[in-house]
Amino acid sequence: DEVTISNSTVDKTGDSDGGDDSNFYGKNAAVLVEGGSTTTLTNLTVTSDAKGANGIFSYGGNGGHNGSEGDGTKVIIKDSIITTSGDGSGGTMTTGGGITNASNLTVTTNGQSSAAIRTDRGGGTVYVDGGTYTSNGLGSPAIYSTAEIHVANAALVSNLSEGVCIEGLNSIELTDCDLTANNTKCNGNATFMDSIMIYQSMSEDAASGNSTFAMTGGSLTSKNGHMFHVTNTNADIELNGVKLTNEDTANVLISVCDDGWNGGNNKATFNAKAQDLIGAVLVGNNSTLVLNLTEGSTLEGYVDGNIVNAANQTVSTEVGTVTVTLDTNSTWTLTADSHITEFTGTTANVIANGHTLYVNGTALTGTN
C-alpha cells in the first residue's frame, strides 16, 4: 500500500513502558510505518513529549534479526520538523530492515537515548539529504547506527553525547556534512569521551563484524574528548578531504583500546586520502591500528600506548601493533618520539622535527 500525508501536525503524549516494543517495533511512536507499505510525508510538524515516543518510525518486519531482509516498508519524509522530548525518543527511527529516505528535515531531540537519526535491532537502510539534526540528551548522538546510513549535505550537532556511534557490523557514510560534537559526559559502560565512537556492545542489537565510517568533504569539529575511539570491534575509517578541528586540549586524533565492553577485538584501519590529520594516535597494548596516508595526506602527531580514560584510570602503558604506510606524496611530521611495528614508504617523507621514529625498536634512519 502507498500512503501520502502532507501539511499536517502530529502531537504525541502519553508514556509507554519503554523497552523492546518501543525501541524495536515502534510502540508509542508519533508516526509508525510498517507492513511493507510506502508512506510519503511532506511538510509535517511532529512533536512527541513522552517516553519511548520516537518521531517517525520505519519498522521493516524482520523481527529484529540482524542482517535479514525487511518486508519493503519505506518512509519518505521531506521538508518537515521533528521535535522529541522524552527518553528513548529518536527523531527518525529505523529498525527491522526498514527503509527511511529523509530530506531537508529539522530534527531536535532532548531525551536520553534519543539520537536524531536513530536505528536499532534488525537494522535497515537510511538515506538523508539536507537538513539539520541536533541531539541534546545523554547517550544521544546525532546518529546512532545499527544499520546502513548515508547522510549528505546536512548539519549534525550533538551537544552532550558523541557525534555519531556505530555498533557492530554497520556503517555511516557522510558526504559534505558539517558534524559538531561536544561529548562532556560518559554514558553506560563508556569510560571515554569522544566524537566518533565505533564499538560492539554484545547486546545482540547489532551483529559482530567490521564497522565502517566514511566521510568525504565537509567538516568535523570535536569539542571534547578523543576525535575517534574504537573499542571491542573491527573498524574501517576513511577520511577524504574533511576539515578537522579538535578543540580538546589533549588533541587525541584516535584511540584504539579497551573500554567498558569485552568479547571482541580492538582493531582499526584508518585510510586518509587527501587529508590533513593532527593529533595523538593512541593504541593500547592489546590493540591494532593500520594507518594509511595517501594522495598527499599529512599527519602531524605521534603514536603512543600510554592511555588514561575519562575517570583518570590507566588503560594501557605500552603501544600495541601499529602499521603506518605513506605513499610518495604523503608525509608524517613527528611531534614526539613514536614507536610502531611496521613502516612502509619513503623514509624521507617522515619529518623527524627533533624526534625519533622507532620501528620494532630500531630508530628509523633517513628521515628529514
Q: What is the structure's pLDDT at 206? A: 60
Q: Which residues contact 323 (CB under 8 A, 6 or more apart)?
A: 289, 290, 291, 340, 341, 342, 343, 344
β-pairing, 314-317 vs 306-308, is: antiparallel
Please work out, in degrees rounded to the nearest 5, the angle formed at the alpha carbon of residue 277 by the alpha carbons of 212 and 329.
100
Q: Which residues contact 362 (CB under 8 A, 6 or more apart)?
A: none
For the chain, which ranges sit under pLDDT 70?
202-208, 263
Q: What is the structure's pLDDT at 16? A: 83
Q: What is the structure's pLDDT at 157? A: 99
Query: Phi/psi at 21 (nearest 5 deg)?
Result: -60, -35
Q: What is the structure's pLDDT at 8? A: 98
Q: What is the structure's pLDDT at 35? A: 96
Q: What is the pLDDT of residues 164-188, one digit of tens each?
A: 999 988 999 999 999 999 999 999 8
Q: What is the structure's pLDDT at 264? A: 74
Q: What is the structure's pLDDT at 39? A: 98
Q: What is the structure's pLDDT at 207? A: 64
Closest CA to 305 of 328, 332, 335, 337: 337
Kindly state the greatest CA–CA separation across the chain. 69
Give pTM, 2 decimals.
0.97
